[in-house]
Amino acid sequence: ENLDWSVGALWTRSDQAEASSAPGADAAAPPMLHCAVIWRAPSAQAADLVEASRKAALRRGEDLPGRVWATAEPAWITDVAEDNSPRLRLAAQAGLRGAFAFPVQLGHEPCGVMEFFTRQTEPPDEPLRDVLAGVGSQIGQFIERTRAEDQLRQASAELQRSNTDLQQFAYVASHDLFEPLRMVTSYLQLLCDRYEDKLDQEAHEFIGFALDGAQRMQALIKDLLAYARVDTRGRSFEAVNCEHTFVAAMSNLKIAIDEANAVITHDALPTVQGDSVQLTQLFQNLIGNAIKFHGSEAPRIHVGAQRTGDEWTFSVRDNGIGIDPKNFERIFAIFQRLHTRHEYSGTGIGLAICKKIVERHGGRIWLESELGKGSTFWFTLPVVKREGE
Ligand code: ADP
């Protein structure tokens, strides 16, 4: 069969337009069909029809595309001259006879309509109608996928931007706050030293509180800066032997280990792909916490490593005070602690830094614990890719 389509048009619904063009659109206005694309064979003398189609806004049920939208079924007209819609009469004047339209489906609801005009009066046969209905649903799926991809891309770009802003803010804030704070601390100290005998007991006490507050603020800012620097000052990745990383962390923790009489054992540790400074910090923070949050017994800590596919899963297990599962999420957030600083020292940034380091390495971090029963922190790191692997 010779299809011989002379004019074809794609109609789309105004309420299905891209989200980005939505602002300013009248949400209360009923949706309409608009002609998104119209094309004609060079031989077709259908300028008036093309013009009218481009200007048209069709309600549900109006004209041929509107009828297809309303029924969600293909429809055809054997002779447009017999139809009373003004646009179809223009088609008849252009020498066209048959018209055929089918829905572009997005799920069950048409999001648009494809429309064709021909000089013939033969209605399309059953197999062709089936093919075209299939095409309509394919186009619908394509539109949906494209739209979903667009939204994903947009969301991801926004996230990236807000992340960078936050990063910048944390860095600038912590950096610039440091200097004035140092001034507060040193003048308080000066006041204390120079006016030693002129100040009474209470004044000394007040200055002590102020100094303590300023020092704590300094510690918080220092930690915030360290947190911001995980991304801004991170080094490029190389092969890192975790045996060395572990030894470095142990040496940094020597005083705490000795004071707590901690016994620390470990599996053979692998070489991973990463930033050696940050990985030392990661081990140090987790082992440091395992020592700090010990219970009545001396800390016994084991560092494990197991390979699963393309990653290594590390564990740091302790016999300490444990953590209530309801706080598992919370402790990874910045400045979140479960204890007062009088019970355990710290600012609550250690695990937030761990999380950021692990995520920068493409891994995950989580824990298993029960109050009073010790904790195990898990994290994954990528294996070193050898040639051909
Ligand atoms: P900080 O150690 O400075 O308090 P972290 O971010 O390292 O901050 O830890 C947050 C909180 O998580 C701690 O205050 C503590 O309540 C809890 N926590 C972390 N590690 C352990 C652990 N090994 N055992 C028990 N509690 C822990």
Q: Is 321 in the pocket of ligand 1 (CB under 6 A)?
A: yes
Question: Which pLDDT score, from 0 to 100, does residue 21 have?
Answer: 45
Question: Which pLDDT score, from 0 to 100, does residue 1 have?
Answer: 39
Q: Ligand 1 pocket: which of 216, 220, 293, 342 to mutate (most atoms <8 Å of CB)?
A: 293
Q: Is 323 in the pocket of ligand 1 (CB under 6 A)?
A: yes
DSSP bridge pairs for 297: none
Kindly report, residue by residue over 285-338, the tens digit of the pLDDT: 999 999 999 999 999 999 999 998 889 999 999 999 999 999 999 999 988 889
Q: Residue 170 is encoded by which pair of tokens?
A: 């944390």
Kindly report, residue by residue over 8-26, the tens digit of the pLDDT: 899 988 886 544 444 445 5
What's the mean pLDDT when you consider all of the chain?
87
Q: Is 287 in the pocket of ligand 1 (CB under 6 A)?
A: no
More confident residue, 342 or 276: 276
Kindly report, residue by residue over 52-86, the tens digit of the pLDDT: 999 999 999 999 999 999 998 888 898 999 998 99
Q: Is 169's pLDDT higher than 70? A: yes
Distance CA 100, CA 133 (A): 12
Distance CA 273, CA 283 (A): 15
Q: Ligand 1 pocket: which of 289, 300, 353, 373 to mutate (most atoms <8 Å of CB)?
A: 289
Question: Which pLDDT score, from 0 to 100, does residue 148 have?
Answer: 84
Kindly report, residue by residue over 363-388, the tens digit of the pLDDT: 999 999 999 999 999 999 988 876 55
Question: Which pLDDT score, from 0 to 100, does residue 387 have?
Answer: 55
User: Closest residue (by CA) to atom 25 of ligand 1?
Assistant: 322
Residue from 177, 184, 261, 183 nearest 225 by CA? 177
Question: Which pLDDT score, from 0 to 100, does residue 19 have?
Answer: 44
Q: Is 299 in the pocket of ligand 1 (CB under 6 A)?
A: no
Residue from 83, 122, 145 nearest 5 by CA? 122
Which residues, 6 or more positions from 208, have their beta carbon under 8 angstroms from its beta carbon? none
Q: Is 227 in the pocket of ligand 1 (CB under 6 A)?
A: no
Question: Which pLDDT score, from 0 to 100, does residue 2 have?
Answer: 44
332 Cα nearest atom in ligand 1: 6
Q: Ligand 1 pocket: which of 281, 302, 337 to mutate (most atoms <8 Å of CB)?
A: 337
Q: What is the 234 CA–ligand 1 centroid distance (Å)?
A: 24
352 Cα nearest atom in ligand 1: 6
Q: Is 367 in the pocket of ligand 1 (CB under 6 A)?
A: no
Kindly report, residue by residue over 195-230, the tens digit of the pLDDT: 888 888 898 888 888 888 888 888 888 888 888 888
User: Closest residue (by CA) to atom 21 of ligand 1?
Assistant: 289
Q: Is 223 in the pocket of ligand 1 (CB under 6 A)?
A: no
Q: What is the 331 CA–ligand 1 centroid distance (Å)?
A: 7
